[in-house]
């Protein structure tokens, strides 16, 4: 599953340096995993008989149905599922679906109870008043059913038997049921959209992680793999899709020819969370892709008919085939299915979902309009497609045994998405972006004492809420970072050999990360070129089983190199002990005076190594291209030599390392390991820097200064300094683009052009402010023709609305409501939060609770957008406190949304009063709970304490530095 709600690079950049009062944006990775409760529990027609329901309060753990993990007594082999969604409401105003299911399972251990997942389903009772019927297969004796019940807390259908099922025997269990086709974005749900003035309804799915059970009764755990036979009954004028191709043409239903029945081929052995089925009027573009001499794969991109007709699916179609071929080669394993469908949905929780053979996406992650979409929108499409297609092997063919190892699925896909996208767009240098997008982003979280290891003991992950907590930046971005590190020191070729062996051994099965280590070790053992200091498991367990990462310190006078656990607040204590005492086996690459040295392994706390000792004019730089997951500190003399090199000839140092020098120094300063002025001195060379990554690292790091200072007198000198530094960059791009009329050719230049405009405008450069207000006014004067280049729209919209008033805001709101492409709507929705008018922001906050104005999937990210505006910060915090119960009920079970909501509204907190308010908020809402934000709330408390300390120690010295260096 992709990381979720996406904001384009320009929108992300806007959040870095905000406008002379308040320019705001949306937080990257903000995502809405809405888990809204069903709107009604009324019976619909025909009404199944209400079964007996057990609502457990204190769970008696001696009863297997009160445990969240399934017992090992039964194992599914296959399902036969028929579903009929009704896309118009019944007499009670509810949308429903009807279904029937037959599950065949093997009894592994004798038992007198069948426990299977079921959530919010109402069963048609048999003549004996049971919810199911049971029969033996191949002559197996069948015990009579004593009673059936639903256990709501653990989400089970429980069948109590009068005798034992026999070990080794096969059984089949039938059921008929009804569920609500709710708009809750979970299980089998409905999505609505407007086609002109006509409301359209479709039925679609999102099963991960624990919502297949909401669609039909099933053994809903990833290791409980089976084959699935899916049949959909649907209106005759709509199309039915599922994981597999149909067995043949849809046939009219015998008793009602306005309905068709479509039966699909049997799936391979797979997990329930990868199932998908959709009924819609969507249309597709398609092609056959030759994957091998005698093997073609059908590729189809599905979208709203108007989007297909407008060509918005064409780019996705063009890159899907090359990416599939790349991964088939990368994994040395053929693509397992006959077709690859991808569909863009109007309402969707995540960024995308890797359902086998039918990948679902938010529209902004699949559709691309070259007339309206920006380059970063295009990058988003190709990287998310690569992420999901990577899962077709790693996750779908071989699946993690349990959610505690989710990081292996998502971390791997988050790493190789850059490889697949780079293959499809080889001139974009996309692989360079992983450091900024994944490594540095997650280090900010992983440097907290409240972080957590990549893997968690399986017995600590049981409930759906605990499973959802696994879907965080540690699983995705740290997982990607350490797997990239592993691939780097093994070499990509060796890594791929181990990977291919692993996929072959566990195809159509489940595995753990230890299984991958075994196969990588075999690849190492079968060659002699790459020599490791320890085996793969010994090295990698230190990165997997303990949280955080080390800072490597080099003293170039003595050659001493040492490691220590890096914490942004060195006074804080880690929340859990480590069996390795927070020490790592670290691969070290280095440059001396611009020349690469031999690689080195640091296995102990410290060691003297001659290659790190320098002569008078030499400097040393560690972690070339930041392939390894650690930060670097030097003695002050070496820092000064690096600064001198950057100011005399910055090209000697690789671009990624120029970004690293800035990023690491600011983190080290936060931890008190270097002075804050040394970190700021590392930005002086930017006056001559034209590359994106160093500027992005600086702006990302200085964003923290903005959050801590933009309510104080130190902010004006900071703005003056930024204006001085960015002016040459602004002029460079004005000339390069011939007065903003041409796009730069290189993707990274396009991104840095946005940085230049965003920073110049927000720091008060008059030429920039005139540029954005003029462009926006031109659009207001002729709304049918937008003169603003799609790449620049996010920053122009935001700055123009910040400089303007009600007229500009109302115009943008009108354009938002009229936007037909979600990418354009996202830009406008983020920019609407940039207003400096308190009453406008307050009204906009209220809109987030009205799903007819702001879609549910966008609600929490919109609140965060407003909170990111200094003027909206207090409004958003008060709003969240006041509406916590409703927000929690609507979104609290989600994976990313609530954690990002808490982070967003508290990220400026830096006073004792704000800390007290946060503690009071925690106490006051203990009864309601915090769901997937529980961990984020603890991290917010920790961050607030660190912020208070930082402001006390640094505000005055920072103000003086900015004043001295802004002349």
Q: DSSP letters along 258-308, please?
A: EEEEEEBPPPPSB-GGG--EEEE--EEEEEEEEEETTEEEEEEEEE-HHHH
Mapped onto helix, strand or coil, the DSSP state of residue 204 is strand
Nearest-angstrom CA–CA distance, 410 and 404: 12
The span from the CA of 905 to the CA of 313, in Å, is 36
Q: How far is CA 531 from CA 73, 534, 910, in A?
A: 45, 9, 48
Q: Tell which residue, 558, 494, 501, has the closest CA to residue 532.
A: 494
CB atoms within 10 A of CB 47: 12
475, two tokens: 């699983």
Rounded Cα–Cα distance for residues 797 and 789 (Å): 11
Q: Are strands 560-565 and 586-588 parallel, antiparallel or unpaired?
A: unpaired
The contacts found for 434-438 with CB under 8 angstroms, 24 or more apart, are 434/480, 434/481, 434/484, 435/625, 435/626, 435/656, 435/659, 435/660, 435/693, 436/659, 436/693, 436/696, 436/697, 436/700, 437/477, 438/414, 438/476, 438/477, 438/480, 438/481
Contacts 24+ apart (CB under 8 A), 515-522: 516/408, 520/486, 520/490, 520/494, 520/495, 522/498
CA distance 288 to 796: 41
757 φ, ψ to 5°? -70, -45
CA-CA distance, 342 to 339, in Å (whole number)? 10
Q: Per DSSP, what are the bridge partners of residue 562?
A: 553, 606
Task: Give dist(CA 496, CA 705) in Å, integer.
Answer: 42
As a whole number of angstroms, the distance between CA 534 and CA 580 comes to 15
How far is 767 from 752, CA to CA, in rounded Å? 18
Peptide bond into 46 cis (omega under 30): yes
Closest to 632 (Cα-Cα) out of 698, 587, 576: 587
Q: How far is CA 447 from CA 450, 458, 502, 572, 893, in A?
A: 8, 24, 32, 11, 26
Contact 556, 638 (CB under 8 A): yes
* DSSP letters spanning 592-642: ETTEEPPPEEE-SSEEE-GGG---SS--EEESGGG-SS-EEEE-HHHHHHH
CB 274 within 8 A of CB 388: no
The residue annotated as part of the active site, out of 35, 388, 410, 438, is 388
The torsion of the CA quartet 821, 825, 827, 833, rounded to 10 degrees, works out to 180
Identify the three-state secondary structure at position 346.
coil
798: left (phi over 0), alpha (psi -120 to 50) or beta: alpha
Residue 243: which of 223, 217, 273 has the closest Cα? 273
- Catalytic residue list contains 410: no
**Which residue has tokens 């119960």?**
885
Positive or negative, the CA dihedral 780, 782, 783, 787 is negative
Query: Residue written as tokens 């902004």?
Result: 364
Partners of residue 262 on adjacent β-strands? 232
CA separation for the pair 356, 268 (Å, rounded): 9
d(CA 354, CA 387): 8
Q: Catalytic site residues?
A: 388
């Amino acid at each position: 599953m992709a990381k979720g709600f996406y904001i384009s690079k320009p929108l992300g950049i806007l959040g870095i340096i905000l406008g002379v009062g308040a320019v705001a944006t949306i937080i990257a990775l903000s995502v809405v995993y809405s888990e809204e409760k069903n709107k009604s529990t009324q019976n619909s027609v025909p009404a199944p008989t209400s079964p007996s329901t057990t609502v457990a309060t204190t769970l008696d753990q001696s009863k297997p149905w009160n445990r969240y993990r399934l017992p090992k007594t039964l194992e599914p082999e296959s399902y036969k599922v028929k579903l009929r969604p009704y896309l118009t409401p019944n007499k009670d105003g509810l949308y429903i679906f009807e279904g029937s299911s037959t599950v065949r399972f093997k009894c592994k251990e004798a038992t007198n109870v069948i426990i299977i997942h079921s959530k919010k389903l109402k069963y048609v009772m048999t003549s004996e008043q049971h919810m199911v019927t049971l029969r033996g297969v191949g002559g197996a004796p069948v015990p009579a059913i004593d009673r059936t019940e639903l256990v709501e807390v653990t989400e089970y259908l429980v069948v109590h038997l009068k005798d034992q099922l026999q070990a080794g025997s096969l059984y089949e269990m039938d059921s008929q049921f009804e569920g609500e086709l709710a708009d809750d974005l979970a299980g089998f749900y409905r999505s609505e959209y407007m086609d002109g003035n006509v409301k359209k309804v479709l039925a679609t799915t999102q099963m991960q992680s624990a919502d297949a059970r909401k669609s039909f009764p099933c053994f809903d755990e990833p290791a409980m793999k089976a084959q699935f036979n899916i049949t959909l009954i649907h209106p005759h004028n709509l199309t039915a899709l599922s994981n597999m191709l149909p067995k043949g043409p849809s046939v009219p239903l015998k008793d009602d020819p306005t309905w068709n029945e479509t039966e699909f081929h049997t799936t391979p052995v797979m997990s329930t969370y990868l199932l998908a089925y959709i009924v819609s009027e969507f249309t597709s573009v398609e092609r056959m892709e030759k994957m091998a001499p005698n093997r073609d794969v059908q590729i189809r991109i599905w979208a709203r008919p108007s989007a297909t007709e407008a060509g918005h699916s064409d780019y996705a179609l063009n890159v899907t085939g090359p990416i599939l071929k790349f991964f088939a080669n990368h994994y040395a394993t053929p693509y397992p299915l006959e077709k690859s469908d991808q569909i863009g949905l109007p309402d969707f929780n995540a960024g995308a979902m890797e359902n086998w053979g039918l990948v679902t996406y938010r529209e902004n992650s699949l559709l691309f309009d070259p007339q309206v979409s920006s380059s970063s929108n295009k990058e988003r499409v190709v990287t998310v497609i690569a992420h999901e297609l990577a899962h077709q092997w790693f996750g779908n063919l071989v699946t993690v045994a349990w959610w505690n190892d989710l990081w292996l699925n998502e971390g791997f896909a988050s790493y190789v998405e850059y490889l697949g996208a780079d293959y499809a767009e080889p001139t974009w240098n996309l692989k360079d972006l992983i450091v900024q997008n994944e490594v540095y982003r997650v280090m900010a979280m992983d440097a907290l004492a409240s972080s957590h290891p990549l893997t968690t003991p399986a017995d600590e992950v049981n409930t759906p809420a605990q499973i959802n907590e696994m879907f965080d930046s540690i699983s995705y971005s740290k997982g990607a970072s350490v797997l990239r590190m592993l691939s780097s020191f093994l070499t990509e070729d060796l890594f791929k050999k181990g990977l291919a062996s692993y996929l072959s051994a566990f195809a159509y099965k489940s595995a753990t990360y230890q299984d991958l280590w075994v196969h990588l070790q075999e690849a190492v053992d079968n060659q002699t070129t790459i020599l490791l200091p320890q085996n793969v498991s010994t090295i990698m367990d230190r990165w997997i089983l303990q949280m955080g990462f080390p800072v490597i310190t080099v003293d170039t006078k003595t050659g001493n190199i040492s490691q220590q656990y890096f914490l942004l607040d060195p006074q804080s204590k880690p929340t859990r002990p480590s069996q390795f005492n927070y020490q790592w086996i670290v691969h070290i690459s280095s440059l001396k005076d611009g020349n690469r040295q031999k690689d080195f392994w640091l296995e102990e706390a410290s060691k003297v190594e001659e290659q790190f000792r320098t002569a008078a004019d030499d400097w040393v730089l560690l972690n070339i291209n930041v392939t390894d997951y650690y930060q670097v500190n030097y003695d002050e003399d070496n820092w000064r030599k690096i600064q001198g090199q950057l100011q005399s000839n910055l090209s000697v140092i690789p671009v990624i390392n120029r970004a690293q020098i800035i990023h690491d120094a600011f983190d080290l300063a936060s931890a008190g390991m270097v002075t804050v002025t040394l970190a700021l001195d590392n930005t002086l060379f930017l006056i001559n820097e034209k590359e994106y990554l160093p500027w992005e690292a600086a702006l990302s790091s200085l964003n923290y200064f903005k959050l801590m200072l933009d309510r104080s007198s130190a902010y004006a000198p900071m703005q003056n300094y930024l204006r001085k530094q960015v002016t040459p960059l602004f002029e460079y791009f004005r000339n390069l683009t011939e007065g903003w009329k041409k796009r730069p050719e290189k993707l990274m230049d396009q991104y840095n052009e946005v940085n230049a405009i965003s920073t110049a405008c927000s720091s008060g450069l008059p030429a920039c402010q005139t540029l954005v207000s003029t462009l926006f006014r031109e659009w207001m004067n002729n709304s049918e023709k937008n003169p603003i280049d799609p790449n620049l729209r996010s920053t122009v919209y935001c700055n123009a609305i910040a400089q303007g008033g009600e007229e500009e805001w109302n115009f943008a709101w009108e354009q938002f409501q009229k936007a037909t492409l979600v990418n354009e709507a996202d830009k406008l929705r983020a920019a609407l939060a940039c207003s400096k008018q308190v009453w406008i922001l307050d009204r906009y906050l209220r809109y987030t609770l009205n799903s007819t104005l702001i879609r549910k999937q966008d609600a929490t990210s919109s609140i965060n957008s407003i909170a990111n505006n200094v003027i909206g910060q207090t409004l958003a915090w008060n709003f969240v406190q006041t509406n916590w119960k409703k927000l929690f009920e609507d979104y609290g079970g989600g994976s990313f949304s609530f954690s990002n909501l808490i982070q967003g509204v508290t990220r400026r907190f830096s006073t004792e009063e704000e800390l007290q308010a946060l503690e009071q908020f925690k106490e006051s809402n203990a009864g309601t709970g915090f769901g997937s934000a529980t961990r984020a709330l603890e991290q917010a408390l920790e961050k607030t304490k660190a912020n208070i300390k930082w402001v006390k120690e640094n505000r005055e010295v920072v103000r003086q530095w900015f004043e001295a260096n802004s002349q």
